[in-house]
A and B are shown apart, each in its own frame.
Chain A
Amino acid sequence: NAGVTQTPKFQVLKTGQSMTLQCAQDMNHEYMSWYRQDPGMGLRLIHYSVGAGITDQGEVPNGYNVSRSTTEDFPLRLLSAAPSQTSVYFCASSPRPGGGTGELFFGEGSRLTVL
């Protein structure tokens, strides 16, 4: 059972570079989301999607883009990386539209450092 798969696990970028964090789930979940985790800040929602073709902003969306062309994939794009985007990023999915009862399944995380 793969569950939620994130790649890469580690990445170092220079300021201004762009990159895409990949997220794929094989559970046919409608809801997918991206969170960032910073020390002492908990998990903060960046973007979410309630189904293919539908995305919306979370609490901290600036500097990030997402798209949802298939049910399985939900990539997160950093257009011009900044040091403030150094963080651990988690992709999560849920079987119920709109997140439902909140039972999220998380990937293992992608640790990003921006120099």
Chain B
Amino acid sequence: GQQLNQSPQSMFIQEGEDVSMNCTSSSIFNTWLWYKQDPGEGPVLLIALYKAGELTSNGRLTAQFGITRKDSFLNISASIPSDVGIYFCAGLYGGSQGNLIFGKGTKLSVKP
């Protein structure tokens, strides 16, 4: 089946640093979403993107839907300790029958 390649797998950063992660696919996607999972919790939607080239912000988070429709990235500016968690990209494509396909996640650790 379709796969999303998410990188990096993990990141260890200092508080205050900016973070960037991305997701790529070999196929065209119609929708890109970014979720965050806190330890012991279910994923929560951060940002949803529906058009190629779309750039959307949510506080310190910014995500973009790639022009080729085969990639997306998420940036976090001025990281804080509560940014710790696993970030997942997810997407919908023509053959997914409305079911989300998830990347394998980026585990973020922030040193105070």
Contact = CB atoms under 8 A, between A and B. Distances in A.
Contact of B99 (A90, A97, A99, A105): A99
Chain B, interface residues (CB within 8 Å), range: 20 to 34
Ranked 3 nearest A-B pairs via Cβ: A106-B42, A98-B98, A99-B98
Interface residues of A, number: 31
B102 A103 contact: no
Interface stretch (B54-62, B64-72, B73-81, B87-95): B87-95
Contacts of B31: 101-102
B48 A102 contact: yes
B104 A109 contact: no
Given A45-B99, A50-B98, A59-B1, A99 B41 contact: no
Interface string B1-36: 100101001000000000000000000000101000
A115 interface: no
Interface of A: 4, 31, 33, 35, 40-45, 48, 50, 56, 58-59, 90, 92, 96-109
Contacts of B33: 102-103
Given A43-B88, A45-B99, A103 B48 contact: yes
Contacts of A104: 43, 45, 100
Given A42-B103, A102-B90, A103-B48, A109 B42 contact: yes
A41 B104 CA distance: 5
Nearest to B45: A103
A102 B104 contact: no
A102 B41 contact: no
A90 B43 contact: yes
Contacts of A42: 4, 6, 88, 102-105
